[in-house]
A and B are shown apart, each in its own frame.
Chain A
């Protein structure tokens, strides 16, 4: 065991059993999977992506490139969890990924032997013959990390939308100081940190603030903030336009939490970025073995998790921060040798420090066993030092990701050996290690100042004093070292994706010299650690190889998310019915009770057909359609759009909006009209009713109501603002039922109503308002079936009752659904927008030409009907299609063919009960001129024949409307 006897922030009273690769192990509450594995002495946790080299834990937090594991617990499964980020839970089943049979003995480890033949981008140079497809399957099987489970994930995720005065990103010393200051000014503060405890690196590094132990100070300061939203275990993953942020909160252990993860969408007035910095590795030959760890991570493991990852330790560094690790290791009983790349390494009591000394090689198959050290100016002079842990520190890279995502600039700073934030976005304040190497005192000062500045920007004053900490010795500057200049170029830069110094050299040699080319050619920084440890080292190496300054090479673009975020959390509750809610008609329950098969049509759930016991849908459709023609049918048309248009200029305005003339429509009358886009294309059709001189009612198709309303609004407001007209979408306010068939009048006549439905008072295409069964309502004479028809509208809340009432008016009433209606209208050759028309259909294509010839006023789309293309004689025209074989129903979407070329298609096709044969509608090039011609109809390689005819197949004279 490598667990220390005392110390750490783990709860030793709560041991947690878990499984690692089939073995039962145990850790404590407060452990991560990584710390628990380290405590159990597990060295090899994963394999690298390309060469399948053994890999152990490198880091302690979001930077971890190596320790990718498969974690399962109950319903939760993560195929690619990073062990350093997952809090240990009892019963977790943890395993390695991308290795067979296991990570210790991985058969594909053989690949590493051939590494010299498969450098960066080797696949661009080979696998061309016979084709990439011949190799791809095998290569795909080797790629990929974890194994996804095919079962749908059923965890719950939720979303919150909030606004805040100040968002503080990072709950370390600087962030807490900033939040504390801003909160004291009475501002709404949101403080987010991805760890469970406040204080950031204070947890491991210690120190004294305002006379308290540093981490305790942080906890106390946070506890005292009033009105703040405190989000622990919450990562700010993205900064977007206008100070919008995305935050991911892990809520597994949240009290009363039912959601696994929550995404917060935050709009902040002021932003404090105190996201700290990430330690980079040193780059040297063999720097990727298990047992080679980030020095800062080692400090975390020792202090925070009470794990001693090694007893014989070598620390290789080029900066001062690793000395804290050395001290902690010594205190924990390890023997420590420090190799400091700087010629003037600071001496420390009780430490063997070798100045000007760097690692030049390592050994050990499943864990580092030795490291070769050499003086930087005499690299061939190696000395082998035994060790079981090699802690490395190559300096620190400020976590400028969010700053950069938001459009802040960066500048390279040689002294800090880092890209430091330059100009920040408006309302942003940066504090702490994100601004460069600062000590605790400066971080606290910057944090406080950021809080003061944020408060001042919002007109507030801070009421707390800046926190104080005893002054510390000034750190010596970093001595940048980007790689070791030896012949061995197997010096890892990107651990997960196996990008080495040799790969960077190759990219440079082949002129992939832009930093973006480097990234793409070598895959540097594209693994699931997102390059947190590798980017800067890669850029520096490229700079050296191409003789440029690091600042000149520049960085790749920082893009969200800062850490990988589960897709489920990003989608939140938006799935299933909530993804796109379906609208229901008022009588929906009755339809089901009446045997309806409900289907979605244009966003509404509507009866497709009403099945009798043992009946098929097709049989029901035929029966319903036939019954309407013989007796009387009842149809729920409630989803049909209803837009009221009122005002002194309603007539004039609508006359511009519609293709057909509507200004001369008489009160109480209806007219079938087309609405065009300005491009001349038929956008919608429907019946326009004039209810009063200054009041119209439009009935757009169910799926177009919103679009029609938007179009009316747009034209009125932007083109005709002087016209006095208002619109009101009343679709949901009315339930509408169509009664259709030769006996429709008889049925409607049984309604108790003050509306005179006699043919004299209410002829075809007329409408009247009145009282129906005691309800305010409307009866219109209109027909989409070709039979005598009435449309009865009552307030929606009485819709279901009215439906039942109508049903009870006659025993011979047949309920019919959309499918039967579609057959009936096909028999009549009535178009269905979006079925018979598409985004190319002009009114003349439908044979509706009178308005263009006769209408005096300009209207939407008019000019577009006069372009050369609109006037072409060979445009597709709407016609009837009669299959030669009356028993054969061609597929909708079959094409009419001339000499193997498509000249149009079948848009509607069905069996007509009224005609006892198949009928169809279609859009055929020059179709009206082909009436009487027999054409070849093509479908999936087979052909049939059909005669082109009039679109109206049934009752051409329209006598049945009045029958």
Chain B
């Protein structure tokens, strides 16, 4: 049934009892053409674009928990494409363009709110680096604007402009097409649309091993039995290293907890997404009215998927430094996701060292914004065995050649 105001009214008159399942919950078949491990945004988007762009395949998504329960359902939902390197700009802007039409494409409102995203600079040096980034982005065709302090103040009057503030605001830059989207809706929308195209989404099905014959994958072992498949896509985010281990290779990835928090809801006080490089914090206000904020990674590798108070307090102190008016608001929830931090902070997309197996991982702290592109690229790989031009630079081989795509370095950080 198509979703619309009209169908809501019709259903309202019928007591909302006529809605079909958003997605089916079938039992797994014994063989598929392509199996996608991980029912997060990237896995579900992969399934959808594979079914849609490369039809006539039997496709399954295997998810060990509940769909969208990984980072896709835990992130702070920021979408943007203001990246420094042309390779990054290409993939993230491809994603943003798909996002811009996604609610219609999926017939599911993902609540894309292009309220803009503003990055602040706190010194002349920050502003010089921002200028370098802004010019790079403009040449990459990304819609960014450099702002002076007065312009920043006009956009976000609540920011700390007190004289003598620890981090003075010298200016910033904004991408107006950036913003936020509803994370669950992205997972659910893709799941519903993929299921409608015949994709089997199997929840509660953990992959515990691979059948590998002569260096080629032949199938997966799961908690629900063996499933044969000649093509396997890995979209397991924080668990990518575990799956690589099962398949006998390693990745340049370490898994960390990344925390996020929300305050209680208040009436609108912040109309754009704000980020500060000095404190690492970022904050937006959800449509419900909660401040949604976070900052850097926890300080050591973890698979625990739970937060850590010292880092939480750092994040909060960092935000209050920017927004002293938020001090009286209360922290309502804090949680953590399990992010796959790749050495150069860029994703890995491409063939794995095992034949028939393809990677989509390493998105770390920033892969929500990339879900449509990650899915599209992996679908292309699964269908053709070859890179889409946009995904080629993100191949695992870049670590051997040394041609990293290091966005942090691009932003002037030597590490």
CB distance from B407 to the nearest CB of A (A): 9
- Residue-by-residue, is B184-218 near A (CB-CB < 8 Å gives 1, otherwise 0)? 11001100000000000001000000000000000
Q: Does B309 contact A (CB under 8 A)?
A: yes
Q: Does A530 contact B (CB under 8 A)?
A: yes
Interface stretch, picked from B19-27, B240-248, B379-387, is: B19-27
Q: Given known contacts A683-B414, A895-B139, is B264 in contact with A575 (CB within 8 Å)?
A: no
Q: Does B319 contact A148, Cβ atoms closer than 8 Å?
A: no
11 intermolecular pairs with C-beta atoms under 8 Å apart: A132-B111, A136-B113, A143-B288, A148-B269, A240-B308, A246-B309, A567-B319, A567-B331, A572-B317, A870-B402, A940-B138
Contact of A80 among B8, B325, B330, B411 (CB under 8 A): B330
Q: Does A152 contact B (CB under 8 A)?
A: yes
Contact of A571 among B13, B269, B316 (CB under 8 A): B316
Chain A residue nearest to B312 (CB atoms) is A570
Q: Does A528 contact B (CB under 8 A)?
A: yes
Query: With the chains together, A434 CA to B146 CA distance in Å?
Result: 56
Query: With the chains together, A867 CA to B400 CA distance in Å?
Result: 8
Q: Does A564 contact B402, Cβ atoms closer than 8 Å?
A: no
Q: Does B157 contact A150, Cβ atoms closer than 8 Å?
A: yes
Query: With the chains together, A833 CA to B415 CA distance in Å?
Result: 12
Q: Does B8 contact A510, Cβ atoms closer than 8 Å?
A: no
Query: With the chains together, A116 CA to B308 CA distance in Å?
Result: 42
Q: Does A145 contact B264, Cβ atoms closer than 8 Å?
A: yes
Query: With the chains together, A833 CA to B408 CA distance in Å?
Result: 15
Task: List, in ascending order, chain B residues with CB within 8 A of A224's CB.
Answer: none
Task: List, in ascending order, chain A residues with CB within 8 A of B139's CB.
Answer: 895, 897, 900-902, 938
Q: Does A466 contact B (CB under 8 A)?
A: no
Query: With the chains together, A129 CA to B8 CA distance in Å?
Result: 15
Interface stretch, picked from B121-129, B224-232, B347-355, B366-374, is: B121-129
Q: Does A891 contact B (CB under 8 A)?
A: yes
Q: Does A140 contact B287, Cβ atoms closer than 8 Å?
A: yes
Task: List, in ascending order, chain B residues with CB within 8 A of A132's CB.
Answer: 103, 109-113
Chain A residue nearest to B290 (CB atoms) is A144
Q: Does A133 contact B113, Cβ atoms closer than 8 Å?
A: yes
CB distance from A293 to the nearest CB of B (A): 23
For residues 115 through 160 of chain B, which have their beta carbon under 8 Å from a beta carbon of chain A? 115, 123, 125, 128-136, 138-140, 146, 157-158, 160
Q: Does B332 contact A (CB under 8 A)?
A: yes
Q: Does A566 contact B (CB under 8 A)?
A: yes
Which of A838, A870, A897 has most B Cβ within 10 Å?
Answer: A838
Query: With the chains together, A141 CA to B113 CA distance in Å?
Result: 15
CB distance from B196 to the nearest CB of A (A): 13
Q: Given known contacts A145-B264, A150-B157, A564-B332, is B109 in contact with A125 (CB within 8 Å)?
A: yes
Q: Does B32 contact A (CB under 8 A)?
A: no
Query: With the chains together, A575 CA to B139 CA distance in Å?
Result: 39
Task: List, in ascending order, chain B residues with CB within 8 A of A119's CB.
Answer: 12, 16
Task: List, in ascending order, chain A residues with CB within 8 A of B335's CB.
Answer: 557, 559
Q: Given known contacts A516-B66, A516-B73, A561-B334, is B15 in contact with A143 (CB within 8 Å)?
A: no
Q: Does A839 contact B330, Cβ atoms closer than 8 Å?
A: no
Q: Does A517 contact B (CB under 8 A)?
A: yes
Query: With the chains together, A132 CA to B99 CA distance in Å?
Result: 12
Q: Does B410 contact A144, Cβ atoms closer than 8 Å?
A: no
CB distance from A867 to the nearest CB of B (A): 3
Q: Does B288 contact A144, Cβ atoms closer than 8 Å?
A: yes
Q: Does B389 contact A (CB under 8 A)?
A: no
Task: List, in ascending order, chain A residues with CB within 8 A of B109's CB.
Answer: 123-128, 132
Q: Does B325 contact A148, Cβ atoms closer than 8 Å?
A: yes
Q: Does A893 contact B130, Cβ atoms closer than 8 Å?
A: yes
Query: With the chains together, A834 CA to B128 CA distance in Å?
Result: 11
Chain A residue nearest to B333 (CB atoms) is A559
Query: With the chains together, A576 CA to B167 CA distance in Å?
Result: 8
Query: With the chains together, A574 CA to B315 CA distance in Å?
Result: 11
Q: Does A664 contact B (CB under 8 A)?
A: no
Q: Does A839 contact B288, Cβ atoms closer than 8 Å?
A: no
Q: Does B103 contact A143, Cβ atoms closer than 8 Å?
A: no
Q: Does A471 contact B (CB under 8 A)?
A: no
Q: Does B289 contact A (CB under 8 A)?
A: yes
Q: Given known contacts A895-B135, A940-B138, is B266 in contact with A559 (CB within 8 Å)?
A: no
CB distance from B284 to the nearest CB of A (A): 12
Q: Given known contacts A511-B21, A560-B307, A839-B406, is B330 in contact with A566 (CB within 8 Å)?
A: yes
Q: Give the B-binding residues of A (Cβ under 8 A).
A: 49, 76-80, 116-119, 122-129, 131-133, 136, 139-141, 143-153, 155, 157, 238, 240-241, 244, 246, 265, 405, 489, 502, 506, 509-514, 516-517, 520-521, 523, 526, 528, 530, 557, 559-561, 564-568, 570-572, 574-577, 579-580, 599-600, 677, 681-683, 833-835, 837-841, 864, 867-870, 891-895, 897, 900-902, 905, 938-941
Contact of B325 among A151, A509, A864 (CB under 8 A): A151
Q: Given known contacts A895-B139, A939-B135, is B166 in contact with A579 (CB within 8 Å)?
A: yes
Which of B115, B267, B328 has most A Cβ within 10 Å?
Answer: B328
Q: Does B132 contact A892, Cβ atoms closer than 8 Å?
A: yes
Q: Does B324 contact A (CB under 8 A)?
A: yes
Contact of B309 among A240, A564, A902 (CB under 8 A): A240
Task: List, in ascending order, chain A residues with CB within 8 A of B25's CB.
Answer: 511, 513
Task: List, in ascending order, chain B residues with CB within 8 A of A146's CB.
Answer: 264, 266-267
Count of residues in B whose CB is under 8 Å from the partner chain:
113
Query: With the chains together, A245 CA to B113 CA distance in Å?
Result: 37
Q: Does A510 contact B309, Cβ atoms closer than 8 Å?
A: no
Q: Does B131 contact A145, Cβ atoms closer than 8 Å?
A: no
- Residue-by-residue, is B395-415 near A (CB-CB < 8 Å gives 1, otherwise 0)? 000001111101011111111
Q: Does B55 contact A (CB under 8 A)?
A: no
Task: List, in ascending order, chain B residues with CB within 8 A of A557's CB.
Answer: 335
Q: Does A506 contact B19, Cβ atoms closer than 8 Å?
A: yes
Q: Does A575 contact B66, Cβ atoms closer than 8 Å?
A: no
Chain B residue nearest to A870 (CB atoms) is B402
Query: With the chains together, A116 CA to B265 CA distance in Å?
Result: 25
Task: List, in ascending order, chain A residues with CB within 8 A of B266's CB.
Answer: 79-80, 144-148
Q: Does B264 contact A564, Cβ atoms closer than 8 Å?
A: yes
Q: Does A940 contact B135, Cβ atoms closer than 8 Å?
A: yes
Chain A residue nearest to B164 (CB atoms) is A576
Which of B111, B165, B268, B413 has most A Cβ within 10 Å?
Answer: B111
Q: Does B12 contact A117, Cβ atoms closer than 8 Å?
A: yes
Query: With the chains together, A240 CA to B298 CA distance in Å?
Result: 14
Additional pairs, 5, CB under 8 Å, beyond known A148-B267, A571-B320: A128-B109, A133-B113, A146-B267, A571-B313, A576-B165
Query: With the chains together, A561 CA to B326 CA distance in Å?
Result: 17
CB distance from A745 to the nearest CB of B (A): 33
Q: Given known contacts A560-B307, A895-B139, is B3 in contact with A502 (CB within 8 Å)?
A: no
Contact of A509 among B5, B19, B312 (CB under 8 A): B19
Task: List, in ascending order, chain B residues with CB within 8 A of A76's CB.
Answer: 328
Contact of A141 among B107, B267, B313 (CB under 8 A): B267
CB distance from B406 to the nearest CB of A (A): 6
Which of B7, B25, B404 has most A Cβ within 10 Å?
Answer: B404
Q: Does A579 contact B321, Cβ atoms closer than 8 Å?
A: yes
Q: Does A839 contact B123, Cβ atoms closer than 8 Å?
A: no
Q: Does A136 contact B287, Cβ atoms closer than 8 Å?
A: yes
Contact of A152 among B162, B189, B263 (CB under 8 A): B162
Query: With the chains together, A560 CA to B311 CA distance in Å?
Result: 14
Q: Does B21 contact A575, Cβ atoms closer than 8 Å?
A: no
Q: Does B277 contact A (CB under 8 A)?
A: no
- Residue-by-residue, is B247-284 near A (CB-CB < 8 Å gives 1, otherwise 0)? 00000000000000001111111000000000100000
Task: List, in ascending order, chain B residues with CB within 8 A of A579's CB.
Answer: 166, 279, 317-318, 321
Query: With the chains together, A20 CA to B415 CA distance in Å?
Result: 57
Task: List, in ascending order, chain A residues with CB within 8 A of B307's CB.
Answer: 240, 559-560
Which of A78, A566, A939 has most B Cβ within 10 Å?
Answer: A566
Task: List, in ascending order, chain B residues with CB within 8 A of A148's CB.
Answer: 266-267, 269, 325-326, 328-329
Chain B residue nearest to A265 (CB atoms) is B309
Query: With the chains together, A470 CA to B269 CA distance in Å?
Result: 57
Task: List, in ascending order, chain B residues with CB within 8 A of A129's CB.
Answer: 104
Task: List, in ascending order, chain A residues with CB within 8 A of B112's CB.
Answer: 131-133
Task: List, in ascending order, chain B residues with CB within 8 A of A526's CB.
Answer: 333
Q: Does A559 contact B334, Cβ atoms closer than 8 Å?
A: yes
